[in-house]
Amino acid sequence: MGFTVAIDGPAAAGKGTIAQRLAAHYGFAYLDTGLLYRAIGRLAAERGLDLDDGEAMGAVARALDPAVLDDGSLRGREAGELASRVAVHAPVRAALTEFQRGFARRPGGAVLDGRDIGTVICPEAEVKIFVSASPEVRARRRTDELLAKGRAVDYGTILQEVRARDERDSGRAAAPLKAAPDAALLDTSELDIEEAFRAACRIVDASPHPRSGA
Ligand code: CDP
Ligand code: CDP
């Protein structure tokens, strides 16, 4: 039997950090679903395709080789922007559904993070967590992250990017960013990483379902 932890929320809320920690703690596999959209956006841009053409983007998504997800540069700002543009298309989302659901039902348990895991991909997930933080806190985190990597960035620009991505992700018709009605809400605005992780563990441990292997 699988055990799925679905983690959703806006950019830089702390989803990935929490998801990775949970996966390590419970011995579950981890999938950062944002990488799928990032890879499609990157491939489409490299090929000079029209990112607003839903059918063309769907074709790129159907041909996606998950091996490309290992490319660390996908986590950058530019790929994030491209990702949110291709993610609005229903054919793109449809092409990725089966792969994500297969991952989620792995016998040893799985943690997936993204925007629509609890609402569309895994509505039956044993645990759903919606991670949030104010746009200002998220922009500060992203700015600090980039400064730590030696990049010259400006907080105001990052805040604008965060707000624009929130709007695109929440306002789209296909699988918009929103909390599932049965998701636990975890606001990390005032929490450091350790506190956020502990809060997430309490949510998993309080789930009425037995843990895989338990
Ligand atoms: O995956 P997502 O975009 O939601 O966020 P993340 O990559 O996990 O976190 C974004 C940045 O915020 C990272 O640099 C984290 O170390 C930091 N963070 C934090 O400072 N405090 C938290 N409670 C969670 C994340
Ligand atoms: O780490 P961060 O939250 O900045 O971004 P990400 O999770 O890698 O997602 C990049 C973009 O992909 C998001 O802004 C969404 O537009 C899209 N995405 C999505 O639509 N559905 C998902 N399950 C994951 C990402």
User: Which of the ligands is closest to the CA of residue 131?
Assistant: 1
pLDDT band at 210 (very low <50, low <70, confident <90, very high): low
Dump pLDDT digits (tens) for 86-121.
999 999 999 999 999 999 999 999 999 999 999 999
- The pLDDT assigned to 214 comes to 41
User: What CA–CA distance (Å, rounded) separates 23 from 196?
Assistant: 14
With CA atoms as reference, report the closest residue to 187 among 5, 18, 30: 18
Ligand 2 mean position to 213 CA, how many Å?
A: 31
What is the mean pLDDT of the segment spanning 192-202?
Answer: 98
Q: Is 47 left (phi over 0), alpha (psi -120 to 50) or beta?
A: alpha
User: What CA–CA distance (Å, rounded) separates 142 from 148?
Assistant: 10
In this structure, what token pair is assigned to residue 176? Answer: 């918009």
pLDDT band at 2 (very low <50, low <70, confident <90, very high): confident
pLDDT band at 65 (very low <50, low <70, confident <90, very high): very high
Query: Which of 7, 8, 17 should be mutated for ligand 1, with most atoms under 8 A from CB?
Result: 17
Dump pLDDT digits (tens) for 10-49.
999 999 999 999 999 999 999 999 999 999 999 999 999 9
Give the chain as a 3 state SS string.
Answer: CCCEEEEECCCCCCHHHHHHHHHHHHCCEEEECHHHHHHHHHHHHHCCCCCCCHHHHHHHHHCCCHHHHHCHHHHCHHHHHHHHHHCCCHHHHHHHHHHHHHHHCCCCCEEEEECCHHHHHCCCCCEEEEEECCHHHHHHHHHHHHHHCCCCCCHHHHHHHHHHHHHHHHHCCCCCCCCCCCCEEEECCCCCHHHHHHHHHHHHHCCCCCCCCC
Dump pLDDT digits (tens) for 138-195.
999 999 999 999 999 999 999 999 999 999 999 999 999 999 999 999 999 999 999 9
Beta strand 127-132 with 4-8 is parallel
- The pLDDT assigned to 211 comes to 52
Ligand 2 mean position to 36 CA, how many Å?
A: 9
Tell me the average pLDDT of the chain.
95
Dump pLDDT digits (tens) for 117-153.
999 999 999 999 999 999 999 999 999 999 999 999 9
- The pLDDT assigned to 212 comes to 45
- The pLDDT assigned to 208 comes to 80
User: What CA–CA distance (Å, rounded) separates 174 from 140?
Assistant: 29
Residues 6+ apart with CB under 8 A from 10: 132, 133, 135, 138, 162, 165, 166, 169, 170, 177
Domains of the chain in start order, with CATH, are 4-203 (3.40.50.300)
**Ligand 2 atom index nearest CA of 35:** 8
What is the mean pLDDT of the segment spanning 187-205?
Answer: 98
In this structure, what token pair is assigned to residue 105? Answer: 């039902």
Binding-site positions: 9-17
Binding-site positions for ATP: 9-17
**Ligand 1 atom index nearest CA of 11:** 3
User: What CA–CA distance (Å, rounded) separates 34 from 50?
Assistant: 20
